[in-house]
Amino acid sequence: MSAATVVRQRPRFPAPARSWTGLALLLVAGIAVHPLIGRSDQDTLTTLFLYIVGASAWNLVGGIAGQFSLAQSAFVGTGAYATVMVMLKLGWSGTTALVAAAAAGVLLALVMGVVLFRLRGVYFTIGSLAFALAAVSWMTIWSFTGATEGLSAPLALAPAPDTLFTLALGLAVVAIAISIAVFHSGYGLRLMAVRDDEEVADSLGVAPFLSKLGVLVLSGALTALAGGALALQTISIEPFSAFSVTWTISFIVMAIVGGLGTVWGPVLGAAVIYYGLTVQLQELPTLGSVVSGLLIVVLIKFLPTGLLGGARAVLARVRRDS
């Protein structure tokens, strides 16, 4: 065996270690850039971090577990309303009220999972959309939460913008950390087995229902936390925006553009779609929507594994040629 062959077979930096290192660098970069940016950029990055949470949470269910859910908007709205309601009724601070958002997300995920995981494939997808539409319809007529008039969080209990930035960064780090832990674990392998062939996975001893329910609970809690933080950012909420299906579409597009079923794909997709298109083309929203649509079509045609998958393919080719 030649020396060159020995070098080529030398073990590389393990994938989980690379992911954890990347997460640490993201955290350090977020902390370092915070004092250097103005209020407008701080608000933009806060929103970006929350989109990363939402996209990563959907990717757990739709990418890693293969359950194409259209109900994420229900979790966003539930988290937003739970946060504001606890602040108004119990006088909790905004950051403490996020505990109620996470609890509400877990409860909603349990109810949704028990009902909808009896369905598979397109029937589950349609059922999840019906679940989301039923949620927004209920909220428009529920007088306890203000019905169509919505609610406003008490300003005295809302966190300062600096605190909200730190909170959003922390939530993004937690969401990515959970994605890394799931993706590189035995539980993640069971989810992928269920995704690829549920009958075969069941015959091999994997419990499809419990596996899917567990990941839906994780996803629901994270998405509700993002919804609660978004409510703290906007202060005022109402059903049609808090429960808008646009949230679901945005999370799905971000995950697909970046790389479905990967850890860092949703992060890359959120940066490209929100910061690269929505923010940069905010004066031309129609053009931003058109570019987003064209980007998805091009990626599906030429890079079905997303931007992250395309970048990996290029790097692999460079390594082979070197």
CATH number (domain holding residue 289)? 1.10.3470
The mean per-residue pLDDT over the stretch 232-238 comes to 95
Beta strands in the chain (DSSP E): 151-152, 236-237
Q: Which of 84, 122, 117 is nearest to 101 (CA)?
A: 84
d(CA 114, CA 22): 36
Does residue 38 sit within a domain?
Answer: no
d(CA 50, CA 52): 5
Does residue 88 sit within a domain?
Answer: yes
236-257: b (≥16 Cβ within 10 Å) or e:
ebbbebbbbbebbebbbbbbbb
Instruction: Tell me the per-residue pLDDT of 41-54, one tens digit each, with 9 for 90 and over.
Output: 999 999 999 999 99
Residue 253: domain span: 44-321
Beta carbons within 10 angstroms of residue 212's beta carbon: 23
Q: What is the pLDDT of residue 2?
A: 39
Instruction: Tell me the per-residue pLDDT of 79-126, one tens digit each, with 9 for 90 and over.
Output: 999 999 999 999 999 999 999 999 999 999 999 999 999 898 899 999
Q: Which of 181, 178, 199, 182 is nearest to 191 (CA)?
A: 182
Q: What is the pLDDT of residue 116?
A: 94
Does residue 29 sit within a domain?
Answer: no
The mean per-residue pLDDT over the stretch 224-251 comes to 95
Q: What is the pLDDT of residue 10?
A: 40
The mean per-residue pLDDT over the stretch 289-310 comes to 75
Does residue 13 sit within a domain?
Answer: no
Q: At what angle do helices 39-59 and 161-183 cross, to 10 degrees?
A: 30
Average pLDDT in the chain:
89
Q: What is the pLDDT of residue 322?
A: 65
How many structural domains is the chain composed of?
Answer: 1
d(CA 50, CA 224): 11
Does residue 127 sit within a domain?
Answer: yes
The mean per-residue pLDDT over the stretch 38-65 comes to 96
103-131: b (≥16 Cβ within 10 Å) or e:
ebbbbbbeebbeebbeeeeeebbebbbeb
pLDDT of 313 over the 60 cut: yes
Does residue 8 sit within a domain?
Answer: no
Q: What is the pLDDT of residue 6?
A: 35
d(CA 112, CA 151): 25
pLDDT of 300 over the 80 cut: no
Does residue 171 sit within a domain?
Answer: yes
Does residue 18 sit within a domain?
Answer: no
- Provide the residue type at 310 as one letter: G
The mean per-residue pLDDT over the stretch 208-237 comes to 96
pLDDT of 13 over the 60 cut: no
Q: What is the pLDDT of residue 1?
A: 39
The mean per-residue pLDDT over the stretch 258-275 comes to 92
